[in-house]
Structure 1
Amino acid sequence: MPHTEMTVGALIDLLSVCDRSAPVRQAMNPFFPMAHRLEQVVQATDETGQTVVYLAEGRDADTQLGHLPPEVAVLLAWQVPVQTPPRRPRRTVGGQ
């Protein structure tokens, strides 16, 4: 059975019933950033009584899509931009 991606429209529909001033939180691992499918939006109250909206991934085996693209990890400030090292001249057959 193919798994469908959640669309922005579906996410907006789910978020439209939540408190608009509530922060949105998602638990992720910035030290090993991976891309995950979003499946649920849950509005709850935290320990301080503040309304919070949580975004959750699914439970299916294919929920984890693979590594997060490096440019996204950089935009999230989870990784620093990496420049390719300068190229060295190639050695010739004679070792020079």
Structure 2
Amino acid sequence: MTSPELTVGDLIDLLSGCDRSAPVRLAMNPYFPMVHRLAQVLQSVDETGQRVVYLAEGPDPDAQLGHLPPEVAIELTWQGPVLAPPRRPRRRAGGN
């Protein structure tokens, strides 16, 4: 990919190795990662006259499905792996 933007051809190439029956989800907002159901594909022209394809969620109120799974956010490099803090020894009765 030479352009800073993903093209339709790039997207087709990336999708060609995926399961054709898998639903498509849109991961949005790296700072508060959420999952959206993709429902529409629209081709239009932007303000410079360039053809652009828009992928959009549907109008349904349940189009936002919830939080992005942490392993997906890590794979997208939107967040780093989070390790649980080390366990401290348990206190005993009597203050030890």
TM-score with structure 1 setting the length: 0.64
Q: Percent identity?
A: 66
Deviates more, 1:26-35 or 1:60-69: 26-35
Alignment of 1:1-96 (within 5 A): 19-20=8-9, 28-96=28-96
The 1:70–1:53 alpha-carbon spacing in structure 2 relative to 1, beyond 3 Å, is same
Rounded Cα–Cα distance in structure 2 between residues aligned with 1:62 and 1:71: 23
The 1:81–1:59 alpha-carbon spacing in structure 2 relative to 1, beyond 3 Å, is same
Rounded Cα–Cα distance in structure 2 between residues aligned with 1:73 and 1:46: 30
Rounded Cα–Cα distance in structure 1 between residues aligned with 2:51 and 2:10: 8
After superposition, give the CA deviation of every residue in 1:27-67 in whole Å (9 maximum; x if it has no partner): 82111111111101123344455443321111111111111
Which consecutive residues of structure 1, in runs of 5 or more, have no partner in the other structure? Answer: 1-17
Which consecutive residues of structure 2, in runs of 5 or more, have no partner in the other structure? Answer: 1-6, 13-25
The 1:27–1:95 alpha-carbon spacing in structure 2 relative to 1, beyond 3 Å, is closer
